[in-house]
Structure 1
Amino acid sequence: MSGRILTVAQQKGGSGKTTIAAHLAVALAARSGEPVAILDVDPQGSLGTWYEAREDSLGEDNTGLEFRTASGWGARREARSLARSHGYVVIDTPPKADTDAKPAIDAADFVIVPIQPTPVDLWATSQTIEIAARENTPALMVLNRVPPRASLTGEMAAAILASGYDALTARLGNRTIFASAMGRGCSVTEEAPSSKAAQEVDLLIEELIARIG
């Protein structure tokens, strides 16, 4: 077995990396039926905090995921080791830290780049895309925290298209349910499967699996 390694990376803070990583992992485990591991290489440890809340909520043996941590170049070794026994490995990386994110990007089959729909975020994203390009790793942008009925979102979608960067058409809205579910160690697909947020995650996963196999 050689699973897919998906590294969630964004040099700009506040993009929702950890939320994206957690939701990808839960949804991929449910959709694929394969074992999924999450790897936290962010010193802030937000994904680990989420996983501990998940253990408290569901029980240590019922999280449906395997959790590991690593730092620096150990991330590449750990990710590749996990990929030998898991269908997917999802890595959460630190912002503003090329040296910490680079090994996780190097190990990845795909880099998932969350971006909020603002020009500043698009400018900052170019740094992450360039790191992925240097490592010959395909990068897929995901619009996250998208406000409802915002004309700027359409402008940003057009700007992303004009930039030549690859992006998924599915996007996640700016919804408080994402934060509340994360606080309980869950995903919105588990906590509110019929919600608009869960529908957005489902569409994202469908498109992602179609792209990455």
Structure 2
Amino acid sequence: MAARVITIAQQKGGAGKTTLAAHLALAWLAQGERVALVDIDPQGSLSQWFALRAERLGAGKTGVDLTQLNGWRASAEIDRLKRDHTLVVVDSPPHAQTDAKIAVRAADLVVIPVQPSPLDVWATRPTIDLAVAEKVPVLLVMNRVPTRRAMTDDMIAALNGVKAELADARIGNRSGLAMSMAAGLGIAEHAPDTIAAREIGKAAREILRRIG
């Protein structure tokens, strides 16, 4: 099977884009995929997490590869990584600019984390429009979902009006996700027997099913 490219994108900062990228990558690693990460977000948060991981586990024992680079070099680098990996996960800049367009154009699927708030729902539209223009399918993943079901249901109703599929899997507002990131780990490594680990695993499996 040819390698697949999954771009994690969201225009609004603070939506959990990088956290989701890291946890999904390690979930896919645990599911037998050979995973490469590409960090083209100028903030470099994914690269900082990876540095912590390498320091904790050892440079050759991270399980995944990471490349940090400017967006204009991304296409060539992604093509190179596809030769040795089954999945390439791209952490895109949090705004609709040239680098984001390159990341979307290279993808087989764009995954957009969206929190159940009006601002987050509105902020998905530029990224969705960009993906539609590039003819790349989009999957919305509800992230940091609170326990208040009424709020979540209202946001799901709002999301049903956009041109994108909504994942069945949802990620709750779990402190363990941030704690494991701070340790350079994934949630399944840090706290495997938790709801957060099960939610990430479910999302990872669903995304792979959808991408084929």
TM over 0.5: yes
Amino acid in the other structure paired with 1:186: L
1:149, distance to aligned residue in structure 2 (A): 2.5
Conservation of the 8 A alpha-carbon contact between 2:24 and 2:201: no
1:97, distance to aligned residue in structure 2 (A): 4.0
Tell me how far apart the structure 2 counterparts of residues 34 and 188 of structure 1 sit (CA, whole Å): 17
Q: How does 1:1-213 map to 2 (within 5 A)?
A: 2-31=2-31, 33-213=32-212
C-alpha RMSD of the superposition = 1.2
Tell me how far apart the structure 2 counterparts of residues 34 and 144 of structure 1 sit (CA, whole Å): 23
Tell me how far apart the structure 2 counterparts of residues 136 and 204 of structure 1 sit (CA, whole Å): 23
Residue by residue over 1:83-114, the C-alpha shift from the partner in whole angstroms, topping out at 9 and shown as x without a partner, is 12100000101112421111011001000101
Tell me how far apart the structure 2 counterparts of residues 185 and 97 of structure 1 sit (CA, whole Å): 28
Residue by residue over 1:144-199, the C-alpha shift from the partner in whole angstroms, topping out at 9 and shown as x without a partner, is 01111241111111221233421101010111111110001111111111101001
Structure 1: 4+ residue segments shifted above 3 A = none
Conservation of the 8 A alpha-carbon contact between 2:128 and 2:163: no
Gaps of 5+ in 2: none
Which structure shows the bigger proportion of residues in strand conformation?
Answer: 2
Tell me how far apart the structure 2 counterparts of residues 50 and 97 of structure 1 sit (CA, whole Å): 24
Tell me how far apart the structure 2 counterparts of residues 108 and 13 of structure 1 sit (CA, whole Å): 21
Residue by residue over 1:112-153, the C-alpha shift from the partner in whole angstroms, topping out at 9 and shown as x without a partner, is 101011111111101000001111111111110111124111
SS of the aligned residue for 2:25 comes to helix
SS of the aligned residue for 2:56 comes to helix
Amino acid in the other structure paired with 1:7: T
Q: How many residues get paired?
A: 212
Give the TM-score, by structure 1 length. Answer: 0.96
Tell me how far apart the structure 2 counterparts of residues 190 and 150 of structure 1 sit (CA, whole Å): 29
Amino acid in the other structure paired with 2:89: V
Amino acid in the other structure paired with 2:179: S
Tell me how far apart the structure 2 counterparts of residues 29 and 196 of structure 1 sit (CA, whole Å): 19
Residue by residue over 1:37-84, the C-alpha shift from the partner in whole angstroms, topping out at 9 and shown as x without a partner, is 000001111000000010111111111001101212211211121112
User: Mean Cα displacement is larger for which, 90-99 or 12-21?
Assistant: 90-99
User: Mean Cα displacement is larger for which, 199-208 or 41-50?
Assistant: 199-208
Amino acid in the other structure paired with 1:37: A
Tell me how far apart the structure 1 counterparts of residues 201 and 34 of structure 2 sit (CA, whole Å): 18
Conservation of the 8 A alpha-carbon contact between 2:9 and 2:111: yes
Give the TM-score, by structure 2 length. Answer: 0.96
Tell me how far apart the structure 2 counterparts of residues 38 and 131 of structure 1 sit (CA, whole Å): 22
Amino acid in the other structure paired with 1:29: L
